[in-house]
Amino acid sequence: MNTVPLGSVSQINPKKPQDLDPDTLCSFVPMEYVDDYFGIITEATTRQVKQVEKGYTYFHNWDVLFAKITPCMENGKCAIARNLVNGIGFGSTEFHVVRPKRDVTSEWIFYFLRQHSTRQEAARHMTGTAGQQRVPTRFLQEVMIPLPPLPEQKRIAAILAKADRLRRLRRTARDLSDTYLQSVFLEMFGDPVSNPRGWKISEMGTQIKSIRYGTGSPPEYQKDGIPFIRATNIKKGTVQQDDLAYISETDARSIAKCKVNAGDLIIVRSGVNTGDCALIPREFDGAYAAYDLIIQVPYPQNYYYNFIINSDYGKSIIRPLSRRAGQPHINADQVRSLRFPVPPMPLQEEFAQIVHQFERLRAQQHEAQRQAEHLFQTLLHRAFQGKL
């Protein structure tokens, strides 16, 4: 397959027309309106051109927006501009704009830039200081893009769009299921703020069997070995396996107190996600934890407390506690002092059983999403190798 510099078949950061009516309405798209997983513009506000023509990036329908700054670029913030008000838009100065010429389609450029390999190469060419690194315009001008005939580009893009749609549907199904347990919780226990069942309010410490701290000095990470759970892995009440670290058996022995067991609660005690809580699942029995609070709460209370701590109600209680020298931070005594409604034990056990069933569903969803993602990335790679 013939390859050419991207800049030879597209305009990189084309200039704004000089004859735009300042009173014309247009779409306005800040960086946060571009979804890094779905690769779409999720929303846009309407502005007059005169409100945004200075200090923002201009683009029009079918331009490809590509985030230039770290970590937005590495995360995959890239989208085709569609359905813009009056066909024009303005957005973040951290967008590169790639406008296709007649020999290439927007979809072909979009999928090329969405590849992990393209983004990895872009990262290697970044310039600037740490935390403010950006992909230079020159990289997009010079990066080599395979260029089959237009009918072939459209045929392959249609295949990629189907695979992309499948991974999006899998992700949407997973996101929708996140609301299920919240509905079940409220149905069984009521709103904990108003406590409509009138259950006794007790300190969490009355239910805690033990509480200890994880390590403040993380060992050296490895590609495999014993799982090491970090604060970044604690999300939505579960231990996320994405970006999981591993440690050696030797390092594990040196931090024996940080070992966790299935059913333990782990609470992030400092940083931006202070107060986030997760229940250690069976597959992480015997793993080790970082600079966090490791809490033993008997079954089935551990399921109840995991959910209520992660609820908006739980966050509203924890956040006022989690300040020390201007930095979010909580300690063991503060966790023990948290006061929550205590439902009857049979009701907590019923909730725990529902969570068990839900976890099996989530595991199936996770595997389906993983397979859909793998299929999409495989097809992307094959497409630009001329093998589709």
Instruction: State pLDDT tens for residues 229-245.
Output: 888 888 878 888 777 88
Considering the domain architecture, whether residues 7 and 106 belong to the same structural domain is answered as yes
In the structure, what pLDDT confidence band is assigned to residue 216 with cuts at 50, 70 and 90? low
State the residue for tokens 């390590």. Answer: 215
Q: Does the pLDDT value for residue 324 go beyond 60?
A: no
**Mean pLDDT of the 313-330 span:** 77
> What pLDDT was estimated at residue 27?
98
> What pLDDT was estimated at residue 129?
82
Q: Does the pLDDT value for residue 328 go beyond 80?
A: no
Considering the domain architecture, whether residues 226 and 293 belong to the same structural domain is answered as yes
Most confident listed range (61-75, 224-238, 272-286, 358-372): 61-75
Q: Which amino acid is at 111?
A: Y
Considering the domain architecture, whether residues 275 and 192 belong to the same structural domain is answered as no
Considering the domain architecture, whether residues 309 and 352 belong to the same structural domain is answered as no
In order of 105, 158, 242, 379, 381, the CA distances from 151 in angstroms are: 10, 11, 38, 18, 19
If one compares 218 and 51, the residue with the highest pLDDT of the two is 51
| Beta-carbon-side half-sphere exposure of residue 249 (alpha carbons within 13 Å) | 0
C-alpha span between 13 and 18 (Å, rounded): 15
Q: Does the pLDDT value for residue 374 go beyond 90?
A: yes
Considering the domain architecture, whether residues 299 and 188 belong to the same structural domain is answered as no
Question: In angstroms, what is the C-alpha Rg of the chain?
Answer: 25
Q: How many domains does the chain have?
A: 3
Lowest-confidence segment of 39-43, 229-233, 343-347 by average pLDDT: 229-233
Q: Which CATH number belongs to the domain containing residue 124 in this structure?
A: 3.90.220.20
User: In terms of residues, how long is the chain?
Assistant: 388
Considering the domain architecture, whether residues 9 and 143 belong to the same structural domain is answered as yes
> What pLDDT was estimated at residue 14?
96
Domain stop point among 80, 114, 147: 147
Considering the domain architecture, whether residues 137 and 164 belong to the same structural domain is answered as no
Q: Convert 127-144 to b/e letters by CB count within 10 Å (16 or more is b).
A: eeeeeebbbbeebbbebe
Q: What is the mean pLDDT of the chain?
A: 91
> What pLDDT was estimated at residue 327?
65
**Mean pLDDT of the 378-388 span:** 90
Burial label for 120, CB within 10 Å (0-12, 13-18, 19+), is exposed
Considering the domain architecture, whether residues 17 and 107 belong to the same structural domain is answered as yes
Considering the domain architecture, whether residues 224 and 335 belong to the same structural domain is answered as yes
C-alpha span between 349 and 368 (Å, rounded): 29
Range of the domain at 141: 3-147
> What pLDDT was estimated at residue 6?
98
Q: Tell me the pLDDT tens digit for each residue of 267-278.
A: 988 877 888 899
In the structure, what pLDDT confidence band is assigned to residue 363 with cuts at 50, 70 and 90? confident
Q: Does the pLDDT value for residue 187 go beyond 90?
A: yes
Q: Tell me the pLDDT tens digit for each residue of 89-111.
A: 999 999 999 999 999 999 999 99
Domain stop point among 318, 340, 362: 340
Considering the domain architecture, whether residues 189 and 223 belong to the same structural domain is answered as no
Considering the domain architecture, whether residues 109 and 177 belong to the same structural domain is answered as no
Q: Does the pLDDT value for residue 154 go beyond 80?
A: yes
Considering the domain architecture, whether residues 127 and 248 belong to the same structural domain is answered as no
